[in-house]
Structure 1
Amino acid sequence: MCGIVGVIGKEDTTEILLNGLEKLAYRGYDSAGIYVNSQSGRDYLVKEPGKISVLKAAVGPEVQGTIGVGHTRWATHGVASQANAHPHVSEDGRFYLVHNGVLTNYAELRATYLSQVNFASETDTEVAVQLIAYLAKTEQLSAKEAFRKALTLIEGSYAFVMIDRNDPETLYVAKNKSPLLIGVGADFNVVCSDALAMLNETKDFIEIHDREMVTLKKDKVEIEDLDGTFIHRDSYHVDMDASAAGKGTYPHYMLKEVDEQPAVMRRLLTEYVDDAGQMKIDPAILKAIDDADRIYIVAAGTSYHAGLIGQSLFEKLAEKPVEVHVASEFGYHMPILSKKPFFIFLTQSGETADSRQVLVQTNRLGYPSLTITNSQGSTLSREANYTLLLHAGPEIAVASTKAYTAQIAVELFLAVALGRHTAIKAAQDFDVNHELALVATGMETLLSEKQAIEDFTTMYLKTTRNAFYIGRGEDYALSLEAALKLKEISYIQAEGFAAGELKHGTIALIEDGTPVMAFLTDAKTIDHTRGNLQEVRARGAKTLTIVSEDHAQAGDQVVLPNVNPLLAPLLGIIPGQLIAYYASLQRGYDVDQPRNLAKSVTVE
């Protein structure tokens, strides 16, 4: 949600800002803007609602400078408009500010300090920049001290970057609960909410922690807490090719990322399993989980669905009891915990605000934790006791695909390692190299059948307003994820249901022509689910089956290559992802950036 870029010390600042904003577009946005200053008396503010292409068209050749900030906004306070777009400027024209996050006490600050200010927008962000200007003027503070004092008064989540027009040689930076990084260069520095935005400029980054502020010049980075104590922090190197975030010859990021899943499976094998089939996982992680009496998996959205599959893996391969919780519910309605819990946080971005507020609480309670994420150096990675990386490469499309399957694979490695650590026979007998190699090959087989999936999508979903996925056990968890993919990008009202629950109310929604798609991989319950399909067919439903080869019958439409039943969800989701993709494409929607959604949900 929202994106920030800032540059100081480069002649091509405008180009860097616009390119950086394009790299951050995947996070979701409804408007964009930049402010640049030449440090010689000329400065420019350009902002527009809509796509970054609209902003680029509005930026004339004269818009040049050596310091600047840019922003993509995802509306929270106020509609998408030019006035509400960032950067925001103080009434006196001195301070320019961009902001990610939500200020919870903005109304109180406005009433207390800013009753005489003429506001130009409906945003909480403008309160922040007007407050800084108010403090600088009324208390005769420098820009830095006015910025610092404002930070002590502001409550909520924020990532701020500010420029003082009277001193355009400094970027003022601060964060609390929202992601922000400093990128270090030779005689220049940058700031960004995601390293991906600045990989073309530098691969060396410095983390900013909550309630810290940074004074950034072209040749200096000064980090301090709000009490003024300076902090030294080394940079870290991001080993990622910027070109990996491109679409290449693909029409959409989502299709590219779906196709990358077999390669991700093979990459994960090299990262986590040696040639002898032994797990390359820190023994300290295994001991910490072994010492616990229960695993709590906390996640949101697609990651939550990956956690449901993980629950089965941990319980069957490591015989460890597991609970899976929605982060936004768990944080405010924490259940009675076991005596020795261990927490696993699943998050693609490592910045998910709902999960992070749970981690803050569990850290306060002293419980051990592990973050499984795709983002090296992210907040949840830093603040948990341990981290396992997904190694999935950049995922740009809003609808997560390869991160979901990577999360399941990493949960598999951890479950097998834990089971072997505690001498569980099922884990000792599980040949990870062989089984995941079969999965990768099976994925490739399914991906070679795109035309058939597209044809089925046209037949079943081209004009429908709603659709259902059903299944039992892991197939039910898979139904939830397939339905989420479909509703995310095609806007079809899609729901996933436990097949056995159809008669308990849901079957009332079945009408003539209603699409019902069933996952059939669980040998124990396939016959029951086939019976449920007969029930909905009798009421006019159009049914589509996605079934493991061993259990396929005449008339089944999508047949999955045989793999270990525990890993069937890794194959089953491939047609689910492709169905969502083609349904969106056929309706003429934006596959990669669906309406109202953000890639990284950094506010609660």
Structure 2
Amino acid sequence: MCGIVGIIGKENATDVLVQGLEKLEYRGYDSAGIFVTDKDRQEHLVKSLGRIADLQNKLNPEIQGTIGIGHTRWATHGKPSERNAHPHTSSNQRFILVHNGVIENFEEIKQEFLQNKQLEGETDTEIVVYLIEYFSNIGMTTKEAFKKSLSVIKGSYAFALIDKHNPEMIYVAKNKSPLLIGLGDNFNVICSDAMAMLTETNHFVEIADGEMVIVKADKIEIEDQKGNLVYRESYEAQLDLSDIEKGTYPYYMLKEIDDQPTVMRRVVQEYTDSFGETVINQEIIDHVTDSDRIYIIACGTSYNAGWVGKAIIEKMTNTPVEVHLSSEFGYNMPLLSEKPFFIFLSQSGETADSRQVLVQANEFSYPSLTLTNVAGSTLSREADYTLLLHAGPEIAVASTKAYTAQIAVLAVLAKAVGDHKGNQSSLDFDIAHELSVIAAVMETMIDEKMVISQLVEDYLATTRNAFYIGRGVDYYVSMEASLKLKEISYIQAEGFAAGELKHGTIALIEEGTPVFGVVTDKKTAAHTRGNLKEVESRGAHNFVISLQSLAKETDQVIIPDVHPLLTPLVSIIPTQLIAYFATLQRGYDVDKPRNLAKSVTVE
């Protein structure tokens, strides 16, 4: 959720930290701060409420150093304020700490160790830096105090700690929250996402949960929980700086919507050969084939993609599929089949709710597969197998291309397993050709921006509420479409199975209420249109998105026909644009909606 950066060994530490925080602002943007110092102990702590730009306005050329840490915050404990912003300091001002995650036992720590301390803010992080101070005051070295604090703490964390008495190292540790060490030439960096430090280095070292790292300018020292030194090879981040810039686009979301045809073609390139045959690890295919039930575990947009994936996988493989919210599954695990196979969907690969399900699956030795956009992410490392989405970095909080990439890769997996089983519905399905058609149709829909913009102005300019309805996969698209609309435009939007409206929800229809009907399924098209008539007779302002073969002259958006199993990949495009233009026309920040962050690393 929040973002951490750190550097040691460069003269321009402030510039590096601020540039890194700008790259991580998608992770949190209610407050930010940096601390920099040097060997002469010229210290500067600057914090600000709001965006990174607000922090920059408080900086001046004198605020420089050779070592520093920075943080951009998404509030979990304590309201957004300068007082609650990171970095936090100990009461004696010696220790400086930034933290991602949630400390579950902060109240117990306060009662046991800090009863006489008057805290400045309301965060669990401040309690941790006071705890480090407590152990230091009873005679421990900084390293000992840090390690002792880690043994007391329960919860998720990524820490970066500076001791002002020894400004030649940064102490680092993590548990359930992402953090990387970047290796430079006579300098090293810290970041919660590699993209934050790509201008400095593309060589990174992963940190395992429970490890502590001492980062110096010329080396790093990794210790496990028993104090044993750990050596780990670095890896090269496969990211292009141009991929994480907006270029000529006003917002990342618009760029990422436009990226989707390219992503479809990249999925074809990565997962099929020159003959159009799927290229998937045979072990994955064997595990899925041998399973008696597939469990898709996900949150938010990935959860909605999972429902579409369920329809495709069941059709192609004849294997039953269940889709579960990871935040519910982890604490209320249903009765499992005898031979389950777990698929985890996550754009970032760091979703904390999904990870705690994966931990349980690993305890029972259930086979698992992660579909993620980020190589080397936690869910990728800890699952048995990974299929990358190859969507490129997704920066906007509202996911678009990761959603369609997840569905496309699930379709490729379903095709591979279906072919292995000899299922005719799979054998008759040319995945490379059909995804290429999808890419072309996506381009057609994306070119309708100005038409969509005008329709949005007609339908959503003043409304407070809106509904999406559909049946089957159109219902699943409605779920995702309504999520996009509500999360960035703040219109109260809900997605419903069209046939369920008359069982309660139709009571919410008032004169002028926008109702978006998705009609791409031949079996249910007439039924959905009947439901649209029902809401229209009660005053709804209907907006229909339909396939060309099922369209009527009065439909607002008509989509060229594609393979029936893949219609969600194209019917979602106009809904993404609807959300984008509704937000733009209301004057809100498209990429950074209030109260939300991109990578959800706390449960």
Same-fold status (TM-score > 0.5): yes
CA deviations 1:486-522 (Å, max 9, x no partner) are 0000000000000000110011111110000010001
Distance in 2 of aligned mates of 1:10 and 1:265? 41
**Residue aligning to 1:327:** 326
**Residue aligning to 1:580:** 579
8 A Cα contact 2:211 2:225, kept in partner: yes
Distance in 1 of aligned mates of 2:367 and 2:185? 39
8 A Cα contact 2:83 2:120, kept in partner: yes
In structure 1, stretches of 5+ residues that fail to align are none
The alpha carbon displacement at 1:232 in A equals: 1.3
The alpha carbon displacement at 1:118 in A equals: 2.5
Distance in 2 of aligned mates of 1:237 and 1:427? 37
The alpha carbon displacement at 1:226 in A equals: 2.0
**Residue aligning to 1:569:** 568
**Residue aligning to 1:99:** 99
Distance in 2 of aligned mates of 1:81 and 1:495? 32
8 A Cα contact 2:104 2:154, kept in partner: yes
Distance in 1 of aligned mates of 2:423 and 2:244? 40
**Residue aligning to 1:17:** 17
**Residue aligning to 1:534:** 533
Distance in 2 of aligned mates of 1:44 and 1:552? 64
Distance in 2 of aligned mates of 1:243 and 1:106? 41
Distance in 2 of aligned mates of 1:107 and 1:318? 50
The alpha carbon displacement at 1:432 in A equals: 1.2
State the secondary structure of the residue aligned to 1:249.
Answer: coil
8 A Cα contact 1:30 1:50, kept in partner: yes
Distance in 2 of aligned mates of 1:438 and 1:179? 37
8 A Cα contact 2:41 2:167, kept in partner: no
The alpha carbon displacement at 1:428 in A equals: 1.2
In structure 2, stretches of 5+ residues that fail to align are none
CA deviations 1:333-355 (Å, max 9, x no partner) are 00000001000000000000110
Distance in 2 of aligned mates of 1:187 and 1:387? 34
- One-letter code aligned to 1:559: I
**Residue aligning to 1:514:** 513
**Residue aligning to 2:401:** 402
**Residue aligning to 1:493:** 492
State the secondary structure of the residue aligned to 2:233.
Answer: coil
CA deviations 1:287-306 (Å, max 9, x no partner) are 11111111000000000000
CA deviations 1:526-560 (Å, max 9, x no partner) are 00000001111101100011000111111111001
Equivalent residues, number? 603
- One-letter code aligned to 1:96: I
- One-letter code aligned to 1:535: E
The alpha carbon displacement at 1:115 in A equals: 1.6
Is structure 2 residue 381 aligned with structure 1 residue 382? yes
**Residue aligning to 2:341:** 342
**Residue aligning to 1:193:** 192
Alignment map for 1:420-439 (pairs within 5 Å): 420-439=419-438
The alpha carbon displacement at 1:427 in A equals: 1.1
The alpha carbon displacement at 1:98 in A equals: 0.1
The alpha carbon displacement at 1:563 in A equals: 0.5
Distance in 1 of aligned mates of 2:287 and 2:229? 34
Is structure 2 residue 39 aligned with structure 1 residue 39? yes
Alignment map for 1:311-326 (pairs within 5 Å): 311-326=310-325
Q: Which 10-residue stretch deviates more, 126-135 or 221-230?
A: 221-230
Distance in 1 of aligned mates of 2:229 and 2:147? 13
What's the TM-score, normalizing by structure 1?
0.99
The alpha carbon displacement at 1:181 in A equals: 0.7
**Residue aligning to 1:442:** 441
Is structure 2 residue 426 aligned with structure 1 residue 459? no
Is structure 2 residue 478 aligned with structure 1 residue 482? no
The alpha carbon displacement at 1:225 in A equals: 1.3
- One-letter code aligned to 1:413: V
Distance in 1 of aligned mates of 2:27 and 2:264? 25
CA deviations 1:250-281 (Å, max 9, x no partner) are 01110010001001111111111111011111
The alpha carbon displacement at 1:242 in A equals: 1.4
- One-letter code aligned to 1:44: H
Is structure 2 residue 270 aligned with structure 1 residue 271? yes
State the secondary structure of the residue aligned to 1:350.
Answer: coil
8 A Cα contact 1:28 1:398, kept in partner: no
The alpha carbon displacement at 1:29 in A equals: 2.3
Distance in 1 of aligned mates of 2:498 and 2:312? 21
State the secondary structure of the residue aligned to 1:455.
Answer: helix
CA deviations 1:424-465 (Å, max 9, x no partner) are 111111111110111000000001111111111111111000
Distance in 1 of aligned mates of 2:514 and 2:558? 18
The alpha carbon displacement at 1:120 in A equals: 1.1
- One-letter code aligned to 2:66: T
Distance in 1 of aligned mates of 2:553 and 2:82? 58
8 A Cα contact 1:308 1:477, kept in partner: yes
Distance in 1 of aligned mates of 2:28 and 2:518? 31
Distance in 2 of aligned mates of 1:327 and 1:153? 27
**Residue aligning to 2:5:** 5
Distance in 1 of aligned mates of 2:261 and 2:242? 19
Distance in 1 of aligned mates of 2:41 and 2:415? 63
Distance in 2 of aligned mates of 1:92 and 1:226? 28
CA deviations 1:408-434 (Å, max 9, x no partner) are 000011000010111111111111111
8 A Cα contact 2:3 2:192, kept in partner: yes
**Residue aligning to 1:78:** 78
CA deviations 1:188-229 (Å, max 9, x no partner) are 111100111011111111111111110111111111112201
Is structure 2 residue 104 aligned with structure 1 residue 89? no
Identity among equivalent pairs (%): 62
**Residue aligning to 1:60:** 60
The alpha carbon displacement at 1:564 in A equals: 0.2
8 A Cα contact 1:476 1:498, kept in partner: yes
**Residue aligning to 1:468:** 467
Distance in 2 of aligned mates of 1:421 and 1:184? 44
The alpha carbon displacement at 1:16 in A equals: 0.5
Alignment map for 1:182-261 (pairs within 5 Å): 182-261=181-260
State the secondary structure of the residue aligned to 1:101.
Answer: strand
The alpha carbon displacement at 1:116 in A equals: 2.1
**Residue aligning to 2:126:** 126
State the secondary structure of the residue aligned to 1:275.
Answer: coil
8 A Cα contact 2:94 2:164, kept in partner: yes
Alignment map for 1:264-303 (pairs within 5 Å): 264-303=263-302
Distance in 1 of aligned mates of 2:314 and 2:330? 24
8 A Cα contact 2:84 2:122, kept in partner: yes
8 A Cα contact 2:29 2:52, kept in partner: no
8 A Cα contact 1:224 1:231, kept in partner: yes
